[in-house]
Amino acid sequence: MSELKLENVSRWYGNVVAVNGVTMTIGPGVTGLLGPNGAGKSTLIHMMGGFLAPSSGTVTLDGAPIWRNPDVYRRLGLVPEREAAYDFITGAQFIQAMAKLHRLPDPDAAARRAIGLVEMDYAADRAIGNYSKGMKQRIKMASALVHDPPVLLLDEPFNGMDPRQRLQLMDLIRRMADEGRTILFSSHILEEVERLAGHIEVIVAGRHAASGDFRRIRRLMTDRPHLFLVRSADDRALAAAIIADGSARSVRLTDKGLQVEATDFQRFTWLLPQVAKQADVRLWEVSPADESLESVFSYLVAK
């Protein structure tokens, strides 16, 4: 059983701070690394995979520093976000080449085993260029599994997949975790992480924002003030009714409509139609004004 540990890790590119003082521990099972685009997920994964040095802090696997430590590399497999192989080689050729890079004693047998694990035997002799997105993702998994590492890092593995391919890959990742591996995958979609990860680490703007199981993360995301844009036939009358009712913290009249900050999201969405009806004001539109992932996540950071 393997454990990845990050202690006060930062990484900057010139004067861009991509990762800022992150401390976290990732143990066996599936962990989701959740955060909006540009949050620093790939940078973290590349540091854990030994492809990038931390600018400060330490990244270790079972106590051994990862950077420039080939012994540790043998125990890690990384599935990058981008395509990893030339289009014209076959899946089997790609995996055999990876087995040789790892100097495995019997590269052909290791390649066959890895291809079998991801259930790609049927397409192993076809050129990678002809694979679907899901098949490409699975062959990348095989390349990361060829040396049978106890730790698997996957960068946005579900990007661009259709629902069936997603389910297939989720199954595969679960199977790999059931065998005792430590698996980390990144995503910017909470629902995806929810379905697969027993544990979630949230990262926003390079900082570690929260961690816990999906119930805790979901609660953190919904228990917060919500900003709504409300348009109606008579915004002034509606504003007065909302204030009188007390289900919102603030109401602002803007030229786009009413900007309402609701303290209790469920109560507000339930009460608003009733308040409008009582005030005899026709509602035209109620839309969340701050539902972008960035704003949801920045709320977590500000806590």
Ligand X SMILES: Nc1ncnc2c1ncn2[C@@H]1O[C@H](COP(=O)(O)OP(=O)(O)OP(=O)(O)O)[C@@H](O)[C@H]1O
β-partners of residue 226 are 262
Interface stretch with ligand X, choices 12-20, 92-100, 230-238, 239-247 (CB under 6 A):
12-20
In whole angstroms, how close is the CB of 46 to ligand X at the nearest point? 8
d(CA 251, CA 242): 8
| Tally of CB atoms within 10 A around 288 | 15
Quote the least distance from Cβ 229 to ligand X, whole Å: 27
Reduce the DSSP state of residue 180 to 3 states and report it: coil
- The distance of closest approach from Cβ of residue 118 to ligand X in the complex, given in angstroms and rounded to an integer, is 23
The residue within the footprint of ligand X, chosen from 4, 6, 9, 18 (CB under 6 A), is 18
Q: Does 200 bind ligand X (CB under 6 A)?
A: no
Kindly tell me which of 102 and 166 has the beta carbon lying closer to ligand X.
Answer: 166
**Residue 12 Cβ vs ligand X, minimum distance, rounded to whole Å:** 8
Residue whose C-alpha is closest to residue 229's, from 274, 272, 281:
272
Site pattern 24..63 for ligand X (x: CB under 6 A): -----------x-xxxxxxx--------------------
Q: Which is nearer to ligand X, 15 or 254 (CB)?
A: 15
Give residue 178's identity as a one-letter amino acid code.
D
Q: Distances from the Cα of 149 to the Cαs of 100, 117, 287, in angstroms?
A: 15, 13, 47
Judged by beta carbon, residue 120 or residue 202, the one nearer ligand X is: 202
For the chain, the distance separating the N- and C-terminal CA atoms, rounded to the nearest angstrom, is 33
Instruction: Yes or no: say if 179 and 277 are a contact pair by the CB < 8 Å rule.
Output: no
Which is closer to ligand X, CB of 10 or CB of 42?
Answer: 42
Looking up tokens 């990244």 gives 59
* Least spacing, CB of residue 154 vs ligand X, in Å: 12
Nearer to ligand X, 38 or 225 (CB): 38
The piece of 13-21, 109-117, 145-153, 240-248 that touches ligand X (CB under 6 A) is 13-21
Of 158 and 228, which has the nearer Cβ to ligand X? Answer: 158
Among 8, 13, 274, 287, binds ligand X (CB under 6 A): 13
Residue ranges with strand state E in the chain = 4-13, 16-26, 29-34, 56-61, 64-65, 76-79, 151-154, 182-187, 199-204, 207-212, 226-232, 248-254, 257-262, 283-288
Applying CB under 6 A, the residues found at the interface with ligand X are 13, 16, 18, 35, 37-43
